[in-house]
């Protein structure tokens, strides 16, 4: 006897499980099963496909003609942080560039001060509020970065808070050390980078990836290569904030370093985009950040996909350059500004996002045996979610076969 059967599913969205991230034309392939049902037992998918079978289950759920997909995967967040930077909005309005605010000691350094001053519990409570919103928006796999400590004690505190989130919520997480996120005001960048490299032995016990902000006025290509090489020698896979604002060649460095992902890529070179296709490195695009920074040039998703590359999407949720924990909104910006198709977008927030955090065959699909992490959406079809933006379309969120969120209706 199974635990649950979900019936009356208007259409079931089934991204393809693949040992490699979906690339190029594959990204536009998406199986949609109309008139479907899902059978769950012991927290795992037993069946997800056309209805009409005679499955037995303790509990029958009626999807009410709604659509169902795997729970979303969020491959790039700065969810653990103290404070907020709404005061910087006026600087942005006056046209002060992001890197100028950082140079003046604001930006990331402002959040560093708030994070250093926050207790473990304060950071956990604040991140828990964001985690709750992400889950309510259909996300059950999340990557979480450090990078607001710039010292051993606070970087480790952030990573421990990240681990505590995974204990507290029914989600799967990956944890990233982003010690080289900015250079402390009173430090030489090479000296500081060596300090962060010296932490890698300790970090590799608690983090899955090592990440660096390779950007003008932050860390150079040479410094990024030194750090990524050191991290890989310690057995950590690497990520990189690359070519976000200036075209330093961060994407090429990511590919040279066999990075699991290269993130931002707004200023990525044509050569880098061409090389992407011959690797399994996932381009994690963050169009919400481009929108939030008031820029008009978005990452060239079309160019990367059409050249055969693998693309995924994330919020980049952080207090300074993209203050949203709503991945559905990013799906809409990807449709409007990255010119991605609905099928590409759904693959970019499920199976390819899973590959971007080393979970490519573990999350983002509903194959037999997969964890029963799925969302029942209040939407008529899969194209509707990127189309109708700014609202939460998740009706029910099911984690490991348990309904953990149901959007309340009005009590009139």
Ligand X SMILES: O=C(O)CC1=NCN=C1
What residue numbers does the annotated binding site for N-formimidoyl-L-glutamate cover?
Answer: 148, 318, 320
Contact of residue 347 among ligand X, Zn ion, none (CB under 5-8 Å per partner type): none
The residue written with tokens 């990024």 in the block is 224
Q: Give the E-state strand segments of 168-315 in sequence order.
A: 172-177, 209-210, 213-214, 237-242, 261-264, 282-285, 310-313
Under rule CB under 6 A, residue 78 binds ligand X = yes
CB of 76 to Zn ion, least distance (A): 6
Contact of residue 26 among ligand X, Zn ion, none (CB under 5-8 Å per partner type): none
Stretch that binds Zn ion, among 115-123, 204-212, 309-317, 366-374 (CB under 5 A): 309-317
Reference 171, options 138, 204, 203, 126; nearest CA is 138
Stretch that binds ligand X, among 87-95, 227-235, 299-307, 318-326 (CB under 6 A): 318-326
Integer angstrom CA distances of residue 337 from 92, 206, 229, 299, 333 = 21, 36, 34, 9, 6
Q: Tell me, residue by residue from 259 to 298, as one string, x for binding to ligand X by CB under 6 A and - for no binding.
A: ----------------------------------------
Give the nearer residue to ligand X in terms of CB position, either 43 or 217.
217
Please give the structure tokens belonging to residue 400. 């490991």
* Under 8 Å between Cβ of 378 and 66: yes
Please give the structure tokens belonging to residue 291. 């929108």
Calculate the CA 185 to chain-centre distance. Answer: 29
For the segment 231-250, give every residue that binds ligand X (CB under 6 A). Answer: 241, 244
Stretch that binds ligand X, among 6-14, 115-123, 198-206, 312-320 (CB under 6 A): 312-320
User: How many angstroms separate the CA atoms of 393 and 375, rounded?
Assistant: 10
Interface with ligand X (CB under 6 A), residue from 70, 249, 272, 320: 320
CB of 287 to ligand X, least distance (A): 14
Residue with the shortest CB distance to ligand X:
320
Interface with ligand X (CB under 6 A), residue from 107, 180, 386, 401: 107
User: How many angstroms separate the CA atoms of 271 and 276, rounded?
Assistant: 9
Q: Strand, helix or coil at 37?
A: strand
Give the nearer residue to Zn ion in terms of CB position, either 154 or 396.
154
Under rule CB under 6 A, residue 162 binds ligand X = no
Residue with the shortest CB distance to Zn ion:
316
Interface with ligand X (CB under 6 A), residue from 13, 67, 108, 212: 108
Which residues lie below 8 Å from residue 288, measured CB to CB, with a gap of 6+?
A: 315, 316, 322, 324, 329, 330, 333
Under rule CB under 6 A, residue 224 binds ligand X = no
Calculate the CA 383 to chain-centre distance. Answer: 21
Burial 37-71 (b: 16+ CB within 10 A, else e): bbbbbeeebbbbbebeeebebeeebebeebbbbbb
User: How many angstroms separate the CA atoms of 317 and 299, rounded?
Assistant: 17
Interface with ligand X (CB under 6 A), residue from 130, 257, 321, 328: 321
Interface with ligand X (CB under 6 A), residue from 130, 223, 315, 318: 318
Interface with Zn ion (CB under 5 A), residue from 88, 316, 325, 370: 316
State phi, psi for 313 to the nearest 5 degrees.
Answer: -125, 150
Residue 130 is classified by DSSP as H
CB of 391 to ligand X, least distance (A): 26
Q: Which residues are annotated as a binding site for Fe(3+)?
A: 76, 78, 241, 316
Stretch that binds Zn ion, among 228-236, 273-281, 299-307, 312-320 (CB under 5 A): 312-320
CB of 80 to ligand X, least distance (A): 12
Calculate the CA 113 to chain-centre distance. Answer: 25
Under rule CB under 5 A, residue 244 binds Zn ion = no
Binding site for ligand X (CB under 6 A): 78, 107-108, 111, 213, 241, 244, 318-321
Binding site for Zn ion (CB under 5 A): 316
């Amino acid at each position: 006897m199974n635990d649950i059967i979900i019936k009356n599913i208007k259409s079931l969205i089934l991204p393809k499980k693949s040992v490699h991230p979906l690339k190029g034309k594959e990204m536009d392939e998406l199986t949609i099963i109309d008139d479907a049902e899902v059978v769950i037992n012991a927290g795992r998918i037993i069946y997800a496909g056309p209805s009409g079978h005679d499955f037995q289950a303790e509990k029958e759920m009626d999807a009410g003609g709604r659509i169902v997909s795997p729970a979303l995967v969020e491959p790039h967040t700065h969810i653990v942080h103290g404070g907020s930077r709404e005061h910087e909005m006026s600087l942005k309005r006056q046209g002060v560039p992001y890197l100028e605010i950082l140079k003046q000691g604001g930006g990331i350094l402002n959040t560093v001060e708030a994070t250093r001053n926050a207790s473990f519990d304060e950071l956990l409570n604040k991140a828990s509020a964001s985690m709750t919103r992400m889950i309510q928006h259909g996300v059950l796999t999340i990557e979480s970065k450090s990078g607001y400590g710039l010292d051993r004690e606070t970087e480790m505190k952030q990573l421990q808070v990240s681990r505590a989130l995974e204990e507290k919520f029914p989600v799967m997480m990956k944890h990233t050390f982003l010690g080289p996120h900015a250079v402390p005001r009173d430090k030489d960048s090479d000296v500081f980078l060596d300090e962060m490299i010296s932490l890698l032995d300790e970090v590799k016990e608690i983090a899955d990836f090592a990440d660096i902000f390779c950007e003008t006025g932050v860390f150079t290509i040479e410094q990024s290569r030194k750090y990524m090489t050191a991290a890989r020698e310690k057995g950590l896979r690497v990520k990189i904030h690359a070519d976000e604002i200036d075209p330093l060649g961060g994407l090429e460095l990511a590919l040279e370093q066999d990075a699991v992902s290269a993130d931002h890529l707004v200023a990525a070179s044509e050569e880098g985009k061409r090389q992407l296709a011959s690797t399994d490195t996932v381009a994690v695009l963050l169009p919400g950040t481009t929108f939030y920074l008031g820029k008009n040039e978005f990452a060239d998703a079309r160019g990367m996909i059409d050249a055969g590359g693998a693309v995924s999407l994330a919020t980049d949720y952080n207090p300074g350059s993209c203050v949203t924990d709503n991945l559905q909104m990013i799906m809409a910006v990807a449709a409007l500004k990255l010119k991605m198709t609905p099928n590409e977008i759904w693959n970019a927030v499920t199976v390819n996002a899973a590959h971007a955090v080393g979970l490519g065959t573990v999350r983002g699909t509903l194959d037999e045996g997969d964890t029963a992490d799925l969302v029942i959406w209040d939407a008529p079809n899969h194209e509707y979610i990127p189309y109708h933006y700014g609202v939460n379309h998740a009706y029910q969120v099911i984690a490991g076969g348990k309904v953990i969120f149901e959007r309340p209706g009005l009590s009139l």
